[in-house]
Structures are given as structure tokens and as C-alpha cells.
Chain A
Amino acid sequence: MASSYHLNGVEAWDGCTASAHALRQAQVDVVAAYPITPSTPIIQNYGSFKDNGYIDGEFVLVESEHAAMSACVGAAAAGGRVSTATSSQGFALMVEVLYQAAGMRLPIVLNVANRALASPLNIHCDHSDMYLGRDSGWISLCTCNPQEVYDFTLMAFRLAEHMGVRVPVMVHQDGFLSSHTVQNVRPLADHIAYKFVGDYVPVHPMFDFDKPVSYGAQAEEEWHFEHKAKLHHAIMESSSVLEDIFNDFAKLTGRQYNILETFDMEDAEVAIFALGTTWESAIVAAKKAREKGIKAGVVTTHLLRPFPFVALGEVFKKAKAVAIMDKSSPSGAMGALFNEIAASLYQVQGSRHPVLSNYIYGLGGRDLTQADLDHIFEELSQDAQKGALTHPTQQFIGLAGPKLSYF
């Protein structure tokens, strides 16, 4: 039995440390990992916990991220609780195996410290890798700070391993902005955290020799479609399970999370929607906008997949203008989140849709300043007054050189 780790009521942790402690407390059986910035400290910390006797599980050093996820798939199929961490190019290298894990319904938890995708090579935060994994059949949870990283990593195990879900889960955090920024985190004691996560119950483990099982068989056209439908159904239904987990977690810690987090949306005429750390920056800007008489609100979601279409449609129903912020290059389209939220709003029948605009920001770690956010609220306010766009739908902000905008 591993030694328990003495934790203070409040710890000063960065996102990677928070994530590593959550993995330790969940008593993961196998972690197979390859280091990549900015997710490296997750595995580095995990390795030192293992060295110092705080972990019973196996720690497998592999030669690439493709191998890391492959080893995770094998270990999970064998019947273990499995986790790993990655970023950017490593995530891209894992993608081929992410689909395998989801299709085999292996409840692996993957910590992703979001980082730009090359080229040009860049180690800083944007959401390119998060968007790359959207269709891989994994549930995607988004977090804003180290406390949320810790809480959501614990909850990710509960969600992935729930018998009605059994889908692998990613926990996203913004590279450096969250992963390397030390903040106060209120952890649970080891035994309480483990009790919350619960014992792992394998389903059809390959180590059950009395019931041999094949994983990853070929299905072709007579089966494939049905399996994908079943996976889609499980993912779509998982949001209600997540809400239950949020409620259980609130009873334990007093920290109540919601699938949609809103700030001042009750009477908001204009709103910003953004993922990750931008949520907190936008709240500061919204408060300033309110002082200027702009009825500003902010919305984010903790759940990128399954996408909360209905809830988002409802929350923006009364708004007059909404800015959807995408921290990934659209590369020839509207931003991915813009498309999805526009689709959400069209699911709400009979309502007047708000004026939508798409801001591309922060690529490769470019700062999103308060001035940028103030400017967005100003533009939204003008849109709201006019009841129509007063500027192009899609704009790049914080870009050097002449203004870049489309549509």
C-alpha cells in the first residue's frame, strides 16, 4: 500500500502539480507517458511520487506519445485504471490511438495542457490541440485554473468509469496560463479523494482468463456504423451523469460546478463566450463594462464534448449580441466554437437570435489583454444598439499589422 501524502488545507500548486496529485490520489494502476511541454511536470511529479513510495501503480516510460497512448489502451483493456498526459504535437501523435481507446470504450483519463500546433513551432497556449481531439469520441472537460484541474481530474475518473458512460475523458487546461501558474488549491485528503473516485471496476478485462475477449476486431460496414452510434449515444447521455458528479462533489467540498458557467447573464444584453483561462479575464472586463453602463455577461462551459447545445441555446436566448472567442486558427472557416454555438442557437425554436461575432485570439500564446476585451464589449454594445453587426463577423485580435477580418 502506498504511503499517504501529507497535504495542507491550502496548497500552492500549479496546474501540472494539481493534476499529478489527482492522479496519485486516484491510485492509477498504469501511467504510460512521454514528456512534452507544457504537460511534462504532470508526469515528472507523478514519477517522483512513484519514486518516493506514494504510488503503487506502474509507470511506463515509452518512446513516443503514440506508444504512450497505445500502452494505455493495452493496460486499460487488461483491466486497469489508466491515465497519461500530453500537449500539442504529442497530442497530435496520439490522435490515431485516441479513436481506438474511445471505440473500445476504455475509461482512460488524459490530461491535456493545451498548446499551439506547429508549424511554426511554439510551446505556448492555444486551443488547437483541444479542437483536434473534438471528434475522437472522448469526453472533453475544460478547466480554468489549478483548482479546477485538480477537481476535474478526480471527477474525470468518476465520469469515465461510470457504468452508463465508459468513455475516455480528457481534462484540458491552458498551457502555462494554468499549467505553470501557481495558485491556491484546496485539495482533499488522500483517503477522501480516493473514496470519491471509488474502486475501479473493470469491464471485460483481458486478464479474466475464464472469459477470453478480443479487443479491436475488424467490423466493416455490417457493424461499424452501429458501434459509432452506440458511442455517440453514450457521450450524449454522459452530461446528466456529469451533473450528478458535480452535485456529489459539491456535497463533499462545497465547490459547485455547472456544465455552463455564467457571469451576470440574468440581464445581460451582450456576452462573451470563451473557454479556459479567458473566462476569468472576461469577467474582469465584464465588470468594467458594467461600470460604463454596458449590460455585459460572460459564459464558458466545462464540457466541450458532449457539446451543451440546449443549455447554450437557452443562455443566449435573451442576449442581443454575443462574441464567440476561438483560441485556434480557423484555417479557412469560421471558428469552431462559433459554428457550434451558432448551431446551438438555431436549435432554440421561435426566439430572436442574437447578433453573433467571432473573435480569433491568443494564438501561440499571444496575450489577450483587458484592452482587447474592453474593445470587444464596446463593439458588442454597438451591435446590440443597432440590432445588427457593426463590424465584420470574424476578426483577428491582437494581431500585428493591418486588421484582418472576414465576412
Chain B
Amino acid sequence: MKNWQEFEMGAVLFPFEKQGQEELSKHNNERTYTTDSSFTASVAHWRVEKPVHNKDVCINCFNCWVYCPDASILSREGKMSGIDYEHCKGCGVCVDVCPTNPKSLLMFDNLEPLEEALGKWPEKKEGLKKKSYRTEGGYNGF
């Protein structure tokens, strides 16, 4: 742990080791983030449920990306590529706004392995009305 004299004045954080403009031109997977940047630090310790993404159902509408309050929806080459579990707090907003049938994002217990979660994916149901993850209860949303 650093001592009080070693911190940057004003509690500021610098995200990149190198020149910002240069780093910003790269995809975020290839940037060199500093170890004490808010990108590197995990802020998801309190999550109890996690959203799982099923790319076979996903239509890449990016509703989840628009609504995620923590910028935790990852994308690559125009397609949604998963969840950033270092920053996702498990709020479930992405699941709520997902429009597909069945949903391509569902909430599972935080300890559920991803492979097993994907194996439990529900089938398409005809005439299913859109349900809210929060108001209808249950972490699998159905």
C-alpha cells in the first residue's frame, strides 16, 4: 500500500501509461492502462447476480450498451462480445431492455459457470409478453 506522500495530489487518476491520443486510437483491449486507473481496478465486488450473454440469440441491437450504467457491455467489430465483469454491478438493466425472444441476456447466480448458464437457456415461447426482470422476479427472468 502506498503511503500518503506517494499519492497524486487531488486524488486524480491517469488511465494510460502512454500518450492519451495515441492510446485512444486503439481498441480498448490493446491499450496500456495504468494499474491504478479506474479501468484496471475492479469495482464489481458487491455483485451477487451476473448477466450472461448468449450470442446465438443476440441480434446486436445494442439496447444493452445504451442502457448499461457502468459501460460494461463489450463490443467488437460491430457485435456484442460479452460483459465486462470487472465493472458490472449486476443491476440487470441490460436484461430488462433486451428485446429478443428468448432474451439474449439473462441473470444467473454470480458463481454459476458461464458454460452451465448457457446450457440452461430457455426455448423461444410463442405469445410471450415482455417481462421485467425486476418486477416479475427470479434471476433467470422467466
Residues of A within 8 A of B (CB): 103-106, 166, 203-204, 208-219, 222-223, 225-227, 229-230, 233-234
Contacts and interface: CB of A to CB of B under 8 A. Distances in A.
B99 interface: no
Given A104-B11, A210-B19, A211-B14, 4 more contacts: A213-B12, A213-B13, A213-B14, A214-B38
Contacts of B24: 212
Contact of A217 (B19, B20, B38): B38
Contacts of B38: 214, 217
A212 B20 contact: yes
B10 A204 contact: yes
Contact of A229 (B4, B13, B20, B21): B4
A149 B122 CA distance: 72
Contacts of A233: 4
Nearest to B23: A212
B82 interface: no
Contact of B21 (A210, A216, A227): A210
A234 B24 CA distance: 34
Given A209-B20, A226-B2, A226-B4, A214 B15 contact: yes
Contacts of B2: 226
Given A212-B15, A212-B16, A227 B4 contact: yes
29 contacts: A103-B11, A104-B11, A104-B12, A105-B9, A105-B10, A166-B9, A203-B9, A204-B8, A209-B20, A209-B21, A210-B19, A212-B14, A212-B24, A213-B13, A213-B14, A214-B12, A214-B38, A217-B11, A217-B12, A217-B38, A218-B43, A222-B1, A223-B11, A226-B3, A226-B7, A227-B4, A227-B11, A230-B4, A230-B7
Contact of B11 (A166, A208, A210, A219): A219
A104 B11 CA distance: 6
Nearest to A166: B9
Q: How would you classify the secondary structure of chain A's contact residues: helix, strand, loop or mixed?
A: loop
A223 B41 CA distance: 13
Contacts of B12: 104, 204, 213-215, 217
Contacts of A216: 11
A40 to B, nearest CB: 31
A-B CB proximity, top 3 nearest:
A105-B10, A226-B4, A214-B13
Interface string B18-38: 011100100000000000011
B135 interface: no
Contacts of B15: 212-214
A218 B4 CA distance: 16
Contact of B5 (A106, A218, A230): A230
A230 B9 contact: yes
A179 B24 CA distance: 50
A223 B7 contact: yes
A184 to B, nearest CB: 40
B7 A217 contact: no
B13 A166 contact: no
Contacts of A104: 10-12
A214 B40 CA distance: 13
A136 B42 CA distance: 30
The winner among B5, B9, B13, B14 for most chain A CB atoms within 10 A is B9
Contact of B20 (A103, A166, A211, A227): A211
B23 to A, nearest CB: 8
Nearest to B5: A230
Contacts of A203: 9-10
A384 B9 CA distance: 48
Nearest to B15: A212
A215 B38 CA distance: 11
Nearest to B6: A226
A226 B10 CA distance: 11
A217 B4 contact: no
A124 B21 CA distance: 52
Contact of B10 (A166, A210, A211, A222): A166
Nearest to A218: B43
A209 B16 CA distance: 11
Given A217-B13, A226-B7, A227-B4, A210 B43 contact: no
Given A210-B21, A218-B43, A227 B7 contact: yes
Nearest to B22: A210
